[in-house]
Structure 1
Amino acid sequence: MIPPLRAPALHAPTEATAEEAGCAVAQWQLAAAQDMTYLDVKYPESSYGRGWVKAAFYVGLDRFAAAMGDEYLLARVRQYSFDNGLELGDRPWHGDDQAVAAIYANVALRDGNPGMMEKTQEQFDHIIAQNHTNSLEFIEPTDGSTEGTCQLRWCWADAIFMAPPAWALTTQVTGDDRYLDYAASETRAIIEYLQDPESGLLFRDSRYFEARTEHGLPVFWSRGNGWVFAGLARFIEAMPEDHPERPLMVETFQTLAARLVTIQREDGYWPTSLLDPTLILEPETSGTAFFGFGLAWGLNNGFIEGDEYVQSRDRAWDAMRAATENSGMVGWVQQIGKDPQSTTAGTSQLYASGGMLLFASEMLDHD
């Protein structure tokens, strides 16, 4: 039996504690999980149980539930895992459809049940055996499909959130280092390929190397870099301290942190187009949630320090609470995409709720 949820809706979100805000966001999103009417467009990706959209929410829910020791929320995470049959998405070779494995792994670690990862191991073993070495250049498909030829590997920035933590956690469950080593090698490849040496930010994929906004500025997508920043935090904490690739992950995380605090808006949000703040003036919460989580995690774990990081984290937390309705719905969320787009106050998405839960989990001791 799943124990009852103890959290009511919020009365004053801007004054809510991390516990109150997180519980309200979790409650609202769980209730809305089967009803996509709050979306402007009912993307199939949003309702797909094993896909990256729901996985991003459950990654946040899992972390918040574990930090809280909330048996109701932990039970919902376990139920989600078994409802999925412990399987990856329909494209198990694709990094986005590997994101769910991180949730299965955390449940397996808590339950002491490594057998939960057998299906994931089978797919990951196959990927390792294939040993794809194709270019990371993103070439648009000509057959009408949505996949580029490079996506047999991780050739887009979002993949750093979706895949490497899942592979590293699979090593934690199984004791097999091959999964972590594969993830570390491929993550190095994507960082070296997509990171801009001048700004320290990452392009979403190779199609954006020469792209410019209407103001003639480079296109650096807020949520895309949020996926990277939050993904690196999750990956680093799942790696042994002596892993040879860990220093690169830490260095990249710290480089991003130092850059991010210089471009945060005064209202606490980050520009949707990071280096062109006047392109889109509305708030955007999915990037901000992941940046806030990364800063809070970095401060809590000693990877960054200094007043500029503390102040940036706190401004982001205030901004995220201001964007959360009394019901627990997180608004001002850019919808599914790959580059900067506009937002509205009443638009939400599961990954923004997941980002808010990640952030709240790191703010529990800072109320």
Structure 2
Amino acid sequence: MKKLFIAALVFALGGTNILHAQNLPDQKETLNTLIKVNKYYMKNNPDCTLPSFVKGKMRASNIWTRTVYYEGLLALYSIYPDTEYYKYAYQWGDFHKWGMWRGTTTRHADNYACGQVYIDMYNLCPKPEILLNVKSNLNMLVNTPQINEWWWIDAIQMGMPGFAKMGKLTGEQKYFDKMWQMYEYTRNQHGEHGMFNQKDGLWWRDQDFDPPYKEPNGEDCYWSRGNGWVYAALVRVLDEIPANEVHRQDYINDFLTMSKAIKACQREDGFWNVSLHDPNHFGGKELTGTSLFVYGMAWGIRNGLLDRDEYLPIVLKAWNAMVKDAVHPDGFLGYVQGTGKEPKDGQPVTYDSKPDFDDFGTGCFLLAGSEIYKLK
């Protein structure tokens, strides 16, 4: 009887937290997995300045795919500050003179996505030249009237966090205002309906997928990685903007709505399909969307926006599945859908398939794992 009483008392005073802690992956194991995956990438890309030759074109190394890798690398650096990671990121930015693909007058979010990494590097090493081009580019976007340029939802992740980071760095409201205007247009006005279907809690990738477009099973087309980009962007913005920013609650509301919808779409094995509402349209495990959902949910749990009891099992099921089923012994990542905009693109997606770009999938995985590591 005494033992039962003590056990009940322990549970009442904090047993729930003990149970949660027991369910979490071992931090050392998580870190070792991240180090292994990143080591594989760096070993196979020793010169970070080299362009990629993909689909018959030479692609500069500061395009969006490489940016996502460096987002993940700096997330890993935040928990494991290996000097080689810093040098690898600094060399990349310095080679490009901390500039955008196609210059400071580019208006395409894929081209200026690298700016968000430059700002992070500036925060680590505050040299004025690191900020010069990204600030010029963002000021051009702020000071011109266009708000309809994030017409594909991937652009929300490529573009929006840079505005949030610059607003935090400078304390100037204009960056927060502009990113809201552009986000709100894509959300509510682009195409026939806006890109966010609040009823389903998910985003159409662009107006090509607006109703009456349907998946083979008759459902709307919600592409996993596209929704993952938006989900990650909301996290990266909420991580930067102040508590009293006028639209903070709007971003939180969308994050919560998406979280509920994403949770409902998880596969039995822990992954998410490329098509969230049609599991048979190029069905199967997919790592990048899954990684971005884990990244967002783990962040939401850690920051008190998502109920731990409800969402931790979802996150752990997904993370454990990724580590078990997608990470090769040498650190190569399987089940990565290549570039595209819908379920049929970048196929086949298998354990051994190699995507057209080898960088962004690694970045998504490092973002997810770094947040898993931070869970307590």
TM-score (norm 2): 0.83
Range with greater deviation from structure 2 (124-133 or 243-252): 124-133
Aligned match of 1:331: 334
2:22 paired with 1:21: no
Residue number among 298, 301, 307 corresponding to 1:299 in the alignment: 301
Residue number among 154, 157, 161 corresponding to 2:153 in the alignment: 157
Cα offset, 1:317, TM superposition? 0.4
Question: What one-letter code is carried by the residue in structure 1 that aligns with 2:131?
Answer: M
2:185 paired with 1:189: yes
The 8 Å contact of residues 188 and 248 in structure 1, kept in 2 or not, is answered as no
Question: What one-letter code is carried by the residue in structure 2 that aligns with 1:181?
Answer: D
C-alpha distance in structure 1 between counterparts of 2:332 and 2:58, whole Å: 16
2:248 paired with 1:246: yes
Point out the structure with max Rg over C-alpha: 2
C-alpha distance in structure 2 between counterparts of 1:33 and 1:298, whole Å: 33
Aligned match of 1:124: 138
Question: What one-letter code is carried by the residue in structure 2 that aligns with 1:350?
Answer: D
Higher relative contact order (CA 8 A, sep 6+): 1
Cα offset, 1:14, TM superposition? 12
C-alpha distance in structure 2 between counterparts of 1:285 and 1:293, whole Å: 12
Residue number among 96, 108, 118 corresponding to 2:110 in the alignment: 96
Residue number among 223, 226, 236 corresponding to 1:224 in the alignment: 226
The 8 Å contact of residues 46 and 54 in structure 1, kept in 2 or not, is answered as no
Cα offset, 1:330, TM superposition? 1.1
Aligned match of 2:81: 69
Residue number among 53, 57, 65 corresponding to 2:65 in the alignment: 53
Cα offset, 1:67, TM superposition? 2.2
C-alpha distance in structure 1 between counterparts of 2:233 and 2:56, whole Å: 24
Range with greater deviation from structure 2 (180-189 or 245-254): 180-189
C-alpha distance in structure 2 between counterparts of 1:336 and 1:357, whole Å: 18
Aligned match of 2:93: 81
The 5 Å alignment of 1:194-343 reads 194-210=195-211, 211-322=213-324, 323-341=326-344, 342=347, 343=349
C-alpha distance in structure 1 between counterparts of 2:28 and 2:266, whole Å: 22
Task: Map Cα deviations across residues 259-297 of structure 1 (whole Å, 9 max, x no partner).
Answer: 111110011111110001122232110100100111111
Task: Map Cα deviations across residues 170-224 of structure 1 (whole Å, 9 max, x no partner).
Answer: 2233333322321122112222221112201000011101211222221100000
The 8 Å contact of residues 61 and 354 in structure 1, kept in 2 or not, is answered as yes
The 8 Å contact of residues 201 and 260 in structure 2, kept in 1 or not, is answered as no
Aligned length: 333
CA RMSD of aligned residues (A): 2.3
Range with greater deviation from structure 2 (185-194 or 155-164): 185-194
**What residue ranges of structure 1 are gaps of 5+ in the alignment?**
1-12, 36-40, 137-152
2:360 paired with 1:351: yes
Cα offset, 1:32, TM superposition? 2.3
Say which SS state the counterpart of residue 304 (structure 2) adopts. Answer: coil
C-alpha distance in structure 1 between counterparts of 2:288 and 2:38, whole Å: 15
The 8 Å contact of residues 261 and 308 in structure 1, kept in 2 or not, is answered as no
- Residues 46 and 62 of structure 1: is their aligned pair in 2 closer, same or farther, counting only changes over 3 Å? farther
Question: What one-letter code is carried by the residue in structure 1 that aligns with 2:130?
Answer: M
Question: What one-letter code is carried by the residue in structure 2 that aligns with 1:351?
Answer: F
C-alpha distance in structure 2 between counterparts of 1:127 and 1:232, whole Å: 20
- Residues 272 and 14 of structure 1: is their aligned pair in 2 closer, same or farther, counting only changes over 3 Å? farther
Question: What one-letter code is carried by the residue in structure 1 that aligns with 2:301?
Answer: L
C-alpha distance in structure 2 between counterparts of 1:198 and 1:209, whole Å: 14
TM-score (norm 1): 0.85
Residue number among 102, 125, 128 corresponding to 1:111 in the alignment: 125
Aligned match of 1:4: none
Task: Map Cα deviations across residues 85-106 of structure 1 (whole Å, 9 max, x no partner).
Answer: 1001226210111211111101
Displaced runs of 4 or more, over 4 A: 13-16, 44-47
The 8 Å contact of residues 17 and 364 in structure 1, kept in 2 or not, is answered as no
The 8 Å contact of residues 57 and 352 in structure 1, kept in 2 or not, is answered as yes
Say which SS state the counterpart of residue 216 (structure 2) adopts. Answer: coil
C-alpha distance in structure 1 between counterparts of 2:290 and 2:57, whole Å: 22
**What residue ranges of structure 2 are gaps of 5+ in the alignment?**
1-24, 48-52, 189-193
Identity between Structure 1 and Structure 2 (%): 26
The 8 Å contact of residues 160 and 237 in structure 2, kept in 1 or not, is answered as yes
C-alpha distance in structure 2 between counterparts of 1:46 and 1:187, whole Å: 31
C-alpha distance in structure 2 between counterparts of 1:309 and 1:33, whole Å: 36
Question: What one-letter code is carried by the residue in structure 2 that aligns with 1:329?
Answer: F
Cα offset, 1:130, TM superposition? 2.2
C-alpha distance in structure 2 between counterparts of 1:59 and 1:45, whole Å: 24
- Residues 266 and 93 of structure 1: is their aligned pair in 2 closer, same or farther, counting only changes over 3 Å? same
Cα offset, 1:306, TM superposition? 3.4
